[in-house]
Amino acid sequence: MHPSSELSPAPGWHTTGDPEATPRGLRALCSTATLTGGLTELAWVGAHVLMYPLGTRMEALRPDLRRRTGEQPAAVRALFADDPLAARVPVLLVHGLVDNRSVFAVMRRSLRRRGFTHVCSWNYSPFLTDITQAATALGQQLERICEQTGHDRVHVVGHSLGGLIARYHVQRQGGDERVDALVTLGTPHQGSILAHVLPTPLVRQLRPGSPVLRELEEPAPGCRTRVTAVYSDLDQLVLPTSSGRCDHPDLGARNLLFRGVGHMSLPMHRGVLDEVATTLAGAGQRAARRRHMRAVA
């Protein structure tokens, strides 16, 4: 895992049991980690506001083939040591509510620098009113990527609502046939009480216990997508913050807690970037092993 620091970027990850206790009270709010994380969040929000206009246009899928595998830096070769072909698996980034692909400017560049050759973002409609419709559109985008690249599996990284859209497609629309690994960042898997503030059709679906969230609680036996849920104890939009965990028993998700990282900072935080790259680099080989074991059985 990542080395500890004042911000405690290293995630404590767990797949079962209760989530790690989140500090409460005035002392926790005034801690160095919380104050520093809050200031960092404000800085990233300001930067994102400036970048937002640059992300309004759709992004074309352009493979980055500037370097051959053997010419990659040592750190990149080490990342894909177990499965060099994992670098070629397409990665699709899906943004959150009232946002666009500009939120992934840092992550997209980071993944390319780490050796991933097919990285692109997808802008869904800003007038979205239904998660299921967005999930269907996501499935169509995944089909286009597979057709363009010749790959039959894609990795998806979803921030906030984007992670919930991707999960719905994987779990309820057969998307596990296409999605190898799904990583969610600050996604309200169990809803957010803040969704009660804005009574729009889409935001109502993000309320705890909404019909869509109850549907995602239904059994999903045999789901082939590996799910990793990254959440933070400083998330200002996912409340309670433990709602960022994905605890569906059939998904077997790996839940990773990052301390002192705000909601908009998650796609840009170095520790999160490291975790996303490591997860995606190893996902292809582990999925292949599972398919082999099922075939043998």
Mean pLDDT in consecutive groups of 10 residues from the start of the chain, 297 residues = 36 44 50 66 64 65 58 80 88 93 94 94 92 97 95 97 98 98 98 95 97 98 96 96 97 96 95 96 60 55
- Sketch the domain layout of the chain as residue ranges: 12-296
Q: Which residues pair with 12 in a beta bridge?
A: 257
Q: How far is CA 63 from CA 42, 58, 67, 134, 137, in A?
A: 33, 16, 11, 25, 22
Q: What is the CATH number of domain 12-296?
A: 3.40.50.1820
pLDDT at 170: 98
Q: What is the pLDDT of residue 283?
A: 61
pLDDT of residue 2: 40
Position 180 scores a pLDDT of: 96
> Considering the entire predicted model, what is its pTM?
0.82
Q: Which residue has the tokens 């300001």?
A: 46
Q: Burial, 2: exposed, middle or buried (Cβ in 10 Å; 0-12, 13-18, 19+)?
A: middle
Token pair recorded at residue 150:
């010749």
Q: What is the pLDDT of residue 52?
A: 59
Distance between CA atoms of residues 154 and 162, nearest Å: 15
